[in-house]
Amino acid sequence: MATTISFVLNGKQRSLRVDDPEIPLLWVLRENLGLTGTKYGCGMALCGACTVHVNGEAVRSCITQASQVAGKKVTTIEGLSGDGSHPVQKSWIAEEVPQCGYCQPGQIMSAAALLAKNRNPSDAEIEQAMAGHICTCGTYNRTRKAIHAAAAMMKKGA
Amino acid sequence: MRTAIHQGRRTFLKASAAAGGGLVIGFYLPGLQPIAEAAAGPTQLNAFVRIGTDGKVTFVCGQSEMGQGSHNGLAMMLAEELEVEFKDVRIEQGGIDPAFGNPRYIGFKAVGGFQATGGSSSIRNIGGNVRRAGAAARFMLTSAGAERMKVSHSECAAENGFVVHKPSGRKVSYGAIANDAATMVAPADPVLKQPSEFKIIGKATPRHDTPPKVRGTATFGLDVKRPGMLVATVAKCPVFGGKVKSFNADRALKVPGVRKVVQIGSGVAVVADGFWAAKKGRDALEVTWDEGPMAKVSSPGMYQSWAELAKGPTAAERLRTGDIGAALAGGAKRVQAAYEVPFLAHVCMEPMNATAHFKGDSIEIWAPTQAQSWNQHWVSQATGLPPKAITIHTTYLGGGFGRRLESDFVLDAVETSRAAGNVPVKVVWTREDDLQHDFYRPASYNVFEAALDANGMPTAWRHRIVGTSILQYFKTFGHFLRKDGMDPTSAQGAGDYFPYDIPNVLVDYVNNNPGVPSGFWRSVGNTQNGFLLESFVDELAHAAGKDPYQYRRQLFNKPHAARLRAVLDLAAEKAGWGKPLPSGVHRGIAAHFAYGSYCAEVAEVSVAKDGNVKVHRVVAAIDPGWIVNPDTVAAQVEGAIFYGLTAALYGEITVKNGRVEQSNFHDYKIARMGEMPKVEVHILQGKGEQGGAGEPGANPVAPAVCNAIFVATGKRIRKLPINPETLRS
């Protein structure tokens, strides 16, 4: 039962046909659209590696059916800034957050969604917003620090 | 075009012209490639370093990058010797070649060579060759520069990518003379810089792989795309050791996008246009399994039989000194305890996967692997093709932790590609596959017995380990499994390095495994044995009524433990050992040596009324000898502490009827950001051989936390993971 889905992806209108209307957005992004920055980690919304923005909200693309984003705006790590200039990406580089790096695009998308709503989050608010993410390299302390640094950067208008 | 070959310490250093112009420096291994072939020309030169006519420097790294920072650290070592700015060095992942083998292990018996990344070995073992390559290039470039400027070589120096004639200040860029340098004879044993001359080594240096990782452009194994590539999932028998009896693919083949269903060594592969169709096809597939003998095995029975074996007369000795029987009988006080540690999964964030294209007479593989040589060997064994017909392209690894030293996921891809008709196939494991078909950290049951003298100091130490063997499964090193059953990897850290000054010691091991695959897990035997030793010695300190830090200090008094005592002192000092803490917060301390490095950690812990454990802060001190990138060392210790801590809090794989009971992150819990303690890392650079940084930090954290729990509650944790039920007050 093939179906056609249209949505705005990283600022551009996209339309594509999928065989299975239940296919998760994650696999459409990665395999149909070639955007592999969004990662598969668990398939059950337990680890956050697949996080993207749908209409500005951080969502887990592994349990979001592609058909559910029809008519919506989807942003992936590739579209967050295009060139790595989002304050969260800049602070991630400055704090040397990543180790293996696999979970980082998802973490960055959640951090960016948090800061879009809360310009000055506390540690507790950061921990709550990032509680859906797992990093087995153990980069959490640097992640928290980078989010504070990004908040400071955004305050200065960077 | 001349090619020069010289013998260095263990390898031949070799220089030649690059295909597109410029200088290439590589290595050559005696015995692994005939000299005549080398003399014939540079076409097969395995580059470490390329310097283009545009002056661009490329470092070709044979090591895998899984987050530990080896690519960056080795490139820093190259830039240091070559006298170029670090930011001007481009890092390229090398292919598979004997020349990338770990030179420390040349002549060491292992199948297929020794290009592998593990044992915290990249910087300390590969770094020497990288520095030699950089120093050789520097010598050749300054020679070529002196010739070009028609001045004396001795008046020239290398600076920032230029050869400078010191008296006149004239200079010529590396790029301009790269072709000339390629005609120079490589120095046999190039002069390395002295540490006092270092400009890059020892300074916190940003990692080149950070920007692509935050932009989402770094390519991991799962991100590989090949023309015409299909994607497969493999149905594997849920029971360890089980086999396919029969399968019916009719329903699977009706799933849109499913192309083929093929049987391979590890199960039945569903090959489709994409992952989702492959997974749905696998869900629809009907397989009848021959479950085999493991279907009768469950975890509780395993530990019960190990407890019996712990009393038995037969075991393989790891360490024996003095007269253990007499000493145990003659002490003023006797302390006994039994400990259990569970199987643990690796949980790399990137589930296992590999892409392969079987082409009949050759195979191309794209894989997030820690072990190029061993994969090439086992793929050769499985397919009958010669090793040189098997190419491996290494991607970034989304975590490794020892899991990716194995070849199972690579063989899945190779066999599926072949069975599906020689098409490129990416095999993707689900998280469930990843947790249920791992090679787990060995589980063990342990008994300890010690005798204390009138002053409370131990005169006898008796430790028996009963548990599963890694080498029984890791065939690459199978020959290291002793005939008496001793597995030096599973028993690692229990007696090979024994830090305590105790005159009578017996450590032995009973190898017993009904069939749960066991493997290398970050720090290997050290993680469980470090926990065991440093918990039991803490019991002795408390039995003696002595301060656990001072007790260890006294026991670490032999010369071989001097550096361990130094990190113990540093950790205690930085943690403020003995100083007051907030109400309800308690300290524990532990220290352990692993992979050439000494590490001590102090944990600050509170235990709530409901038994929940909160780790507030961990202060670590590590001595890896001299270091390259202090920020990477700190990051590795932070990460290792997390890895050891989440395992101590939650990690446990249990088996029921031969099947792993856990399946995803809901029942194999990993600590989240809010559970991460503050971590402080203090680095000592002691005199002696350089040690590793990736693994040693993982070992002291579990005992430090459990030792703090004892202070907080009076309850000794002798079974991991920590069970809050047992800590309720």
Task: pLDDT band for B109, please (50, 70, 90 cuts).
Answer: low
Distance (Å, whole) CA B173 – CA B220:
36
Averaged pLDDT for residues B166-193: 94
Interchain CB distance below 8 Å, B642 and A138? yes
List pLDDT tens digits, range B664-710: 999 999 999 999 999 999 999 999 889 999 999 999 999 999 999 99
Of A47, A77, A107, the residue at which a domain comes to its end is A77
Q: Which of A136, A139, A142, A147 to mutate: most B Cβ within 10 Å? A: A136
The answer to whether the CB of B232 falls within 8 A of the CB of B279 is: no
Domain boundaries, chain B: 4-208, 221-292+352-428, 299-344+439-727
Does residue A9 lie within any of the structural domains? yes
Interchain CB distance below 8 Å, A96 and B206? yes
List pLDDT tens digits, range B226-276: 999 999 999 999 999 999 999 999 999 999 999 999 999 999 999 999 999
Pick the closest to residue B572 from B557, B590, B556 (CA basis). B590
The whole-number pLDDT of residue B634 equals: 98
Distance (Å, whole) CA A133 – CA A107:
7
List pLDDT tens digits, range B428-448: 999 999 999 999 999 999 999
- Give the CATH number, domain containing residue A143: 1.10.150.120
The whole-number pLDDT of residue B33 equals: 45
**Diameter over CA atoms, chain A:** 51
Residues A70 and A91 both lie in one domain: no
Close Cβ partners of B63 (under 8 Å, ≥ 6 residues apart)? B70, B71, B74, B100, B117, B122, B126
Does residue A82 lie within any of the structural domains? no
Distance (Å, whole) CA B84 – CA B179:
18
Distance (Å, whole) CA A112 – CA A118:
10
The whole-number pLDDT of residue B100 equals: 87
List pLDDT tens digits, range B450-481: 999 999 999 999 999 999 999 999 998 888 89
> Residue B275: in which H helix or E strand, if any?
helix B275-284
Task: pLDDT band for B1, please (50, 70, 90 cuts).
Answer: very low
Q: Does domain B299-344+439-727 have CATH number 3.30.365.10?
A: yes
Question: Minimal Cα distance from B353: which residue of A?
Answer: A40
Better-scored residue on pLDDT, B631 or B189 = B631
From residue B546, give the alpha-carbon distance in Å to each of B267, B456, B565, B580, B588. 57, 8, 17, 18, 13
Residues A52 and A108 both lie in one domain: no
Which two three-digit tokens encode residue B381? 């064994």
DSSP state of B243: E
From residue B319, give the alpha-carbon distance in Å to each of A37, B324, B505. 50, 11, 7
Residues A68 and A93 both lie in one domain: no
Distance linking the first and last C-alpha atoms of chain B: 79
User: Residues 409-428, chain B: which have Cβ within 8 Å of A?
Assistant: 428
Task: pLDDT band for B101, please (50, 70, 90 cuts).
Answer: confident
Task: pLDDT band for B45, please (50, 70, 90 cuts).
Answer: low
A75 CB neighbours in chain B (<8 A) are none
Averaged pLDDT for residues A109-138: 98
A114 CB neighbours in chain B (<8 A) are none
CA distance B431 to chain A (A): 5
Does residue A10 lie within any of the structural domains? yes
The whole-number pLDDT of residue B43 equals: 40
The answer to whether the CB of A130 falls within 8 A of the CB of A143 is: yes
- Hey, how many other C-beta atoms are within 10 angstroms of the C-beta on B161? 20
Distance (Å, whole) CA B723 – CA B707:
14
Residues A61 and A118 both lie in one domain: no
Classify each residue of B91-124 as buried b or exposed e, where b means 16 or more C-beta atoms within 10 Å of its C-beta: bebbebbbbbbbbebbeeebbbbbbbbbbbbbbb
Of A77, A104, A125, the residue at which a domain comes to its end is A77
List strands edge to edge, sheet with B586-594: B586-594, B597-607, B613-623, B678-683
The answer to whether the CB of B495 falls within 8 A of the CB of B487 is: no
- In this model, does residue B7 exceed pLDDT 50? no
A46 CB neighbours in chain B (<8 A) are 664-666
Residues A28 and A91 both lie in one domain: no
Residues A40 and A96 both lie in one domain: no
Distance (Å, whole) CA B590 – CA B568:
8
- In this model, does residue B322 exceed pLDDT 60? yes
The answer to whether the CB of B204 falls within 8 A of the CB of B39 is: no
- Hey, how many other C-beta atoms are within 10 angstroms of the C-beta on B126? 25
At the top level of CATH, the class of B4-208 is alpha beta
Question: Minimal Cα distance from A102: which residue of B?
Answer: B398
Task: Name the domain count of chain A.
Answer: 2
CA distance B640 to chain A (A): 8
Interchain CB distance below 8 Å, A41 and B351? yes
Residue B219 touches chain A, beta carbons under 8 Å? yes
ipTM of the complex: 0.98
Of A77, A99, A130, the residue at which a domain comes to its end is A77
Domain range enclosing A140: 87-155
- Kindly report the average pLDDT of chain B as a whole number: 94
Averaged pLDDT for residues A103-131: 98
The answer to whether the CB of A57 falls within 8 A of the CB of A112 is: no
Residues A95 and A69 both lie in one domain: no
Interchain CB distance below 8 Å, A102 and B349? yes
Residues A51 and A94 both lie in one domain: no
CA distance A46 to chain B (A): 6
Does residue A133 lie within any of the structural domains? yes
List pLDDT tens digits, range A13-68: 999 999 898 999 999 999 999 999 999 999 999 999 999 999 999 999 999 999 99
CA distance B213 to chain A (A): 5
From residue B592, give the alpha-carbon distance in Å to each of B251, B493, B579. 55, 8, 24
Topology of domain B221-292+352-428, CATH:
Aldehyde Oxidoreductase; domain 4 (3.30.365)
Backbone dihedral region for residue B681 (phi beyond 0: left; psi -120 to 50: alpha; all else: beta): beta
Pick the closest to residue B559 from B686, B708, B369 (CA basis). B686
Residues A26 and A59 both lie in one domain: yes
The answer to whether the CB of B605 falls within 8 A of the CB of B660 is: no
Interchain CB distance below 8 Å, A133 and B665? no
Distance (Å, whole) CA A41 – CA A135:
10
The answer to whether the CB of B292 falls within 8 A of the CB of B238 is: no
From residue B380, give the alpha-carbon distance in Å to each of B356, B386, B693. 13, 6, 33
The answer to whether the CB of B60 falls within 8 A of the CB of B49 is: yes
CA distance B398 to chain A (A): 5
Distance (Å, whole) CA B217 – CA B393:
17
The whole-number pLDDT of residue B108 equals: 60
- In this model, does residue A158 exceed pLDDT 60? no
The whole-number pLDDT of residue B148 equals: 97
CA angle B74, B80, B81 (to 5 degrees): 100
> CB burial class (10 A; 0-12, 13-18, 19+) of residue B617?
middle
Residues A139 and A114 both lie in one domain: yes
Closest residue to A134, CB basis, from B219, B672, B678: B672
Closest residue to A138, CB basis, from B66, B257, B643: B643
B219 CB neighbours in chain A (<8 A) are 36
Interchain CB distance below 8 Å, B399 and A140? no
Interchain CB distance below 8 Å, B673 and A126? yes
Q: What percent of chain B has pLDDT over 70?
A: 95
Distance (Å, whole) CA B23 – CA B647:
48
- In this model, does residue B5 exceed pLDDT 70? no
Pick the closest to residue B694 from B198, B79, B65, B201 (CA basis). B65
- Give the CATH number, domain containing residue A57: 3.10.20.30
Pairing of strands B390-394, B286-290: unpaired
Backbone dihedral region for residue B688 (phi beyond 0: left; psi -120 to 50: alpha; all else: beta): left
Distance linking the first and last C-alpha atoms of chain A: 47
Interchain CB distance below 8 Å, B676 and A140? yes
B209 CB neighbours in chain A (<8 A) are 98, 101
Averaged pLDDT for residues B519-544: 98
Residues A61 and A91 both lie in one domain: no
- In this model, does residue B590 exceed pLDDT 70? yes
The pTM of this model reads 0.96
Amino acid (1-letter code) at residue B123: I
The answer to whether the CB of A8 falls within 8 A of the CB of A14 is: yes
Averaged pLDDT for residues B48-73: 95
The answer to whether the CB of B469 falls within 8 A of the CB of B487 is: yes
Domains B4-208 and B221-292+352-428 share a fold: yes
A33 CB neighbours in chain B (<8 A) are none
Distance (Å, whole) CA B691 – CA B125:
9
Classify each residue of B383-401 as buried b or exposed e, where b means 16 or more C-beta atoms within 10 Å of its C-beta: bebebebbebbbbbbbbbb
Residues A130 and A151 both lie in one domain: yes
CB contacts < 8 Å between A and B, how many? 189
Q: Name the residue with tokens 């830039």.
A: B79
List pLDDT tens digits, range B332-349: 999 999 999 999 999 999
Distance (Å, whole) CA B216 – CA A36:
7
Residue B633 touches chain A, beta carbons under 8 Å? no
